[in-house]
Structures are given as C-alpha cells and as structure tokens.
A and B are shown apart, each in its own frame.
Chain A
Amino acid sequence: MENHIQIRNLKVRIGSTEIIKNADINIPDGQVTAILGPSGCGKTTLLRSMNRFLDLTENSRVEGEVFLDGQNIYAPGVDVTEIRRRIGLLAQRPYSLPMSIYENVAYGLRIHRVNQSKNLKPIIRHYLELAGLWDEVKSRLSDPASALSIGQQQRLCLARGLALEPEVILADEPTSALDPISAQHIEGKLQELKEKYTIVLVTHTLRQARRLADHVVFMYLGEVVEQGPAREVFDNPQMERTKAYLQGSIG
C-alpha cells in the first residue's frame, strides 16, 4: 500500500508556541484517514500544513517535510497554487463565493484556465451531481450561491473543489456546522468519493470516524500518539491516551 502523503519531522510554531511537535504521519493512498484528538490538540493545524494554508497564518513557522507523491511541498520553488489544485479543502463552515451557483463550480476551472471551452455546462453538471446537489439547483444555476441553505452550500463547496479533480480531499469537521440530514448527505458523499480520492478527515464524531475511516491518526497536545489501520486502533488501541479518548474520558 502506497502512502499518498508522508509527513516527516513536522514542527509547527505559531508565535512562540510549538503547536505540532515532530509529527511523522503516513496518509495511505485511496483511503479515508481520520485525524482524531481532543479540542486544541492541533488537528486543524496539521490539516492546514498539508495544503500550505499555514502560509496564511501570521507568525507561523513550519519545519520538516510534507511529501505529496514523493514531492516535498515545502521545497523552495514549489508552486503553491498547483499544490492547492491537487489537494482540495472542505472547510468546517461553507463559504460560497459571491457569484452564481454555476460560477462557484466554474471558479477553479477559470482560475487555472484548465478548460477554455465556452460551454462548461456538462462539466458543471457532472460535479454538481457528484456532490449530490444537481437536482436541487438545476433550475436556478444562475442564482446567487448565497441563496442556498448551509447544507447545500457545503455540497456546493464540495463540487467546487471536486471540479479541479484533486487527488486528495482535506475535510475539517465538514459536517459539524450542518443539520443532521445535511450532515448525513455529506458523509454519504465522502463514503462514495473514497473510491477515487485520498481523504483526510478531521472529526469529533467518533461514530462518524468508525463509519468512514480506514486509517486513524490520534493526536494529543500536538503530538501523534498513535496511528494505524482503523480497525486496529479502534478495537485494540496500544496507548493509554487513545483508550481513554475512545472511551470518552478525554476530549
């Protein structure tokens, strides 16, 4: 089994605090890797290290390496926009862009000028279908995206990311801001998408992790405590902290 992303000796500082201490993590290809751990342990920070989003955090310093298909994304001269095209991000809260539903999905294509053809409609349709939103919006593609419900906007964000055919999807608690039905919807989509994409999922819902994850990384106070195949970590955790967390006594 290949590792799609390999993290080596990753240290992240924000200001003078070390947020991630020497992490070594393997994200296997074509699987769902769940990152678990109590609030504030650095899950979001870890995720943001994988698409160079820490570049946006003021006073942050990153040491170590993150390999995407063997290429260190922190190497000098790497094109950040290309990295972010290959690694999609589904944020905790959906932010639709100030344009129509159609243009939201087309946004990435236009930004990267990947498809110059006039009629993007079939492409837009495909990705809206993939995100499970097509039937709800097909009659109002030119309406402003802000008119959609939060749950629909999250699926729109998914379609926007998918349209660039990324290899990896990073998802940071993608269902935590949604109502239960919408959450199920998104979760179901991730379930389907794992056939084709490598997915890294941060979640606080252990049941969601059990349902979706093939691989688990457990973090505590900025350190990776345990990682491995989901079944092993869930059924037979090696470390005390993992056990305690899974039993619900920390976090």
Chain B
Amino acid sequence: MVKSPEKVEDDHAREAGKVLASRQRAERRASFEFRALSTLPAALFVVILIVLLVRAWPILQQKSLVGLLLGDVWRPSEGQFGFLPFIAGSLWVTVLAMIFAAPVSILCAIFLSEYARPTTKALIKPLIDILAAIPSVVYGLWGVLVIVPWVQQSVGPALGRWFPFLPLFNSSNPTGYSILSGALVLAVMVVPFIIAISYEVMRTVPRGYHEASLAVGATRWQTVRYVVFPRVAGGLIAGVVLGTSRAFGETMAVLMVVGNNPIIPHSIFDAAYPLTALIANNYGEMMSIPLYDSALLASALLLMLIVLLFNVFAALALRRATAREQA
C-alpha cells in the first residue's frame, strides 16, 4: 500500500518528535552526569577538610589558636605544641626559593615565547617539561649529593667571609643542611612549572599586538615591556603564586636537605623544619603521647588552608587578567 503524502509527513513529524524527545533526555542525563562528576573533586576536598578538622579538634579545644600558631616551643612529651618554628621554616624556605625561581622562570618564559627561534624552542620546551616530571625524591638525592656539600664548603664560607656583618648570612650550623639548600632544590623544582604556565600565558597574546608595536619601530624588548607584559601580568602573577603554593607543599625533596631542626631560623644557613617535613617525619610514631596525633593533623589542616589560600588568590588573579583580556 502506498501512503498518502499527508500520512508520510505525519509519520515523519512524529518520528522527528520522538527523536527530539530522546535527544533532550540524553542531553539532560549527560549534563547531570558531568555536573556530578565535576563536583566530585570539590566534594573530596571538603571531605578531607572535615576529617582533618575532626581529628584536629581535641587540640584546638584544649589549646588556644594563638598559642598554637605563635608558640615557639615544640616539646610534645611535655605537652608543648608551638607551630611557629614550622611555619617559619616553611616560609623561609618557600620565600627564598621563590626569590630564586620567579625571576628566572619569567625571564625564561619571555625568552622562549618572544625571542627563541622555532628550532631552539622545539629543543628547550620538551627539556623543561621533562624537568617538571622528575620525581621529587630524585631532586632530594641530587640536593644531598650536590647542593648540600656545595653550600657547606663553598657558599657558606664565602658569604660568611664577604658579609660578616649580615646576620642573614651567618650561622653556627656547619652541616650544609640548611634553608639555602632547601630553597635551591625547591627553586629548581618549581622553575619548570612556572615556566610552563608563564609560557602558555604569554602565548595567548595575539601576534597583532606585537606587530602593532614593532610597526612603529619598537624593539622586541620595548614590545615585551610595554605591550606584552601589561597584558599578561595577571597571568604571570597567577603562575608565580601557583608555583609558591607548590613549593610550600613540597615535602620529600625539602626534608632531605633542610636539616629538620625545630627552631626559628635567623640565617639562610640555619637548619629549618617545614610543616610538610613535620608531618611526613613524625606521623605514625610516638602516637601514645597525648594530643600528638591531633597536633600533627592540626598542622596538616593549617598547611591545607594556606595552600588553598594561594590557589584562591591565583584563581582571582587569573580571572582578573582574563576579564581584562576580554574587555
């Protein structure tokens, strides 16, 4: 039997309607699944936070927060839990590492994206990515074998001789296991990371801006300085902050070279004891001491909050930078 044209059209329309409905169903399901999946990391984060908070609760109840954060004595067996030496240790090592790493990384990214020839770029870029993939324990070993002796035998004596009046460069610690060693190892570790971010950020600037500047006779450096830089500053800051957060949270390589002595350091040649090292070295031992477990988890909570703060700051800087880009 031959269908009438109207019948064909009706059938067709009904089919199309069915297909549309099923497509919409699939779309709704997919969008629900993706949303569920993408909230998973956030949920995981909250769960970790809650667990840490619950386990840290006993010490937070018994000691004042100020006393914990600003206390400079760490004698768990006597019930003294001052976090300040560890906070100070983390800050010293991280800040010094970033002083080394940030300028080098940004200059390197500028070189790669603005000056390097394609062949140079093709050679250097994978090399940097490999550096970023080396396991941190290997960096730690390299630090123990190379950096620590170098700091002990060369850098320490030299700086002490040249600047005897600067407390920053004086120390009674002759081992070489020091803030400087930790910072150097950390710097080498975060440099490839910051380069990678900065390089990607710099590449987002359209060629037209370079050409607009070069066309009036600007040099390449003037173009970078006045045209590229203002456009990428926010992104570069975000990269450095993410690098800082990474350095702050790095554990293995640092604890191998930094000396691990819970004192408040005064010189870059002093030993220090960063928060991460505190947790990694001690968790699981001497757990019979009252509040010890709780104290370590409180320090983990602190570490996590600080790193979270860094990341929020980086996200804001990046958002502001991209918002201006679109304006």
Contact = CB atoms under 8 A, between A and B. Distances in A.
Interface of A: 51, 53, 56, 58-59, 80-85, 88-89, 91, 93, 95-99, 107-108, 111-112, 144, 146, 157, 160-161, 164
A91 B227 contact: no
Given A84-B216, A107-B216, 19 more contacts: A51-B215, A84-B214, A84-B215, A91-B212, A95-B209, A95-B212, A97-B212, A98-B230, A98-B231, A107-B213, A107-B218, A108-B216, A111-B213, A111-B217, A111-B226, A112-B217, A144-B327, A146-B327, A160-B212
Contact of B215 (A88, A96, A146): A88
8 contacts: A85-B216, A88-B215, A95-B208, A97-B213, A97-B226, A107-B216, A111-B216, A111-B226
Q: Chain A CB within 10 Å — which of B118, B210, B211, B215 has the most?
A: B215
Nearest to B208: A95
Pairs A-B, 5 closest by C-beta atoms? A108-B216, A85-B217, A84-B217, A95-B212, A89-B215
A108 B118 contact: no
Interface of B: 117-118, 206, 208-219, 222, 226-227, 230-231, 327
Overall SS of chain B's interface: helix
Contact of A81 (B212, B219, B226): B219
A82 B230 contact: no
B216 A164 contact: yes
A89 B216 CA distance: 8
A91 B208 contact: yes
A88 B208 contact: no
B294 to A, nearest CB: 52
B216 A161 contact: yes
Nearest to A109: B216
A53 B215 contact: yes
Contacts of A93: 208
B217 A161 contact: no
Contacts of B210: 56
Contacts of A111: 213, 216-219, 222, 226
A49 to B, nearest CB: 14
Contacts of B118: 58-59
A157 B215 CA distance: 10
A140 to B, nearest CB: 15
Contacts of A58: 117-118
B327 to A, nearest CB: 6
B218 A81 contact: yes
B216 A160 contact: yes
Contacts of A84: 214-217
B211 A56 contact: yes
Q: Chain B CB within 10 Å — which of A53, A98, A107, A146 has the most?
A: A98
A98 B321 CA distance: 12
A53 B211 contact: yes
A56 B214 contact: yes
Contacts of A91: 208, 211-212, 215
A88 B217 CA distance: 9
Contact of B217 (A59, A81, A157): A81
Given A97-B227, A99-B226, A108 B217 contact: yes
